Amino acid sequence: MARTLADDMFLLENQLPLFILADLFDLAKREMHSNLLYEGLSMSKLTFDLWELMAEVLLIEDKLFEEHFPEAEHFLDLIRLCLQPSELGNQNGKLETLSVPTITELHQAGVKFKLGSSNHLFDIRFKNGTLEIPQCTIVDETEFLIANLQDLELLNGRSKNVIHYVVIMNYLVNSPKDVEVLAHKGIIENGLPDSEDVSTLFQKLQKEADIDSDNFYYSGLIEDLKAYCKSPWHNWKATLKQNYFNTPWASISVIAAVVLLILTVIQTVFSIINK
């Protein structure tokens, strides 16, 4: 019943002002002061306990619930506030074209993938040829929750961080193969039946996304990724590594071939000199 209740509390149409619920809870706590069940409890702690699983999925720490609870308008707004990215993350900017290389294309260009160390879900960063993505856990409730958060952002006209995250992830994980690459790196924790369900989920969510190209959170990241992929040097290195140095035996074979070629050239030079 608690799981069903938590799901209902995510619905945008079910939101009630938090200050009313907090006052009712405090009133109940005073009336039941002899009941040990209320000892040490607060409305924010009760909320976190109810949503603990979803908080883990969204990388939300319990201290964030305590921090943002007083300013949140309702439960869904509380989640939105807890998901605000860190100041060290990306910065909104103008997006020239919304064309993002997929994970497979980035891999072919030599980009490395790393599980992000940030505890903010939206802090996707690219530096020195490595794309860092915080862990993305996909479960049955993910689509339901993200869709309601997107609706909230569209209605309140404030931050669009959830919408921007959905857009960038939809382009990065455009196919099951993209999902599998990130799953292998521990970046995507897939609780759905297969990889295709994950890419399909982001495609469905992205259809509801409405972005302003003049104020897109990942604009700088996208431009950096496209510039890296366009570099002939990066593509040449990636091709060499993936096609000729992908296994120890392949590396030995290439080295042996190069040594043989050098020795052949040297022998030819000496033969010409001796003549």
CA distances from 64 to 15, 133, 159, 186, 196 (A): 20, 21, 18, 25, 33
pLDDT at 190 over 70: yes
For residue 164, the model assigns a pLDDT of 92
Amino acid at 11: L
Higher model confidence: residue 184 or residue 63? 184
pLDDT at 196 over 60: yes
Highest mean pLDDT (candidates 117-126, 130-139, 154-163, 249-258):
130-139
pTM of the model: 0.79
For residue 244, the model assigns a pLDDT of 45
Condensed to tens digits (0 to 9), the pLDDT of residues 4-13 reads 777 788 888 9
Residue 127's DSSP bridge partners are 130
> What is the pLDDT averaged over residues 179-192?
93
For residue 36, the model assigns a pLDDT of 65
> What is the pLDDT averaged over residues 28-37?
70
pLDDT at 142 over 90: no
> What is the pLDDT averaged over residues 36-45?
75
Mean pLDDT of the chain: 82
pLDDT at 236 over 50: no
Given CA atoms 227, 98, 166, 123 in this order, what sign does their dihedral have?
positive
Q: What angle do CA 192, 197, 202 make, to 5 degrees?
A: 110
Q: Residue 76's closest CA among 136, 162, 201?
A: 162
User: CA-CA distance, 28 to 1, in Å (whole number)?
Assistant: 21
Name the percent of the chain lying above pLDDT 70: 83
Which residues, other chains included, contact 214 with Cβ-Cβ below 8 Å and sequence gap of 6+?
A: 94, 95
For residue 187, the model assigns a pLDDT of 94
pLDDT at 177 over 90: yes
- The pLDDT-based confidence of 124 (bands split at 50, 70, 90) is very high
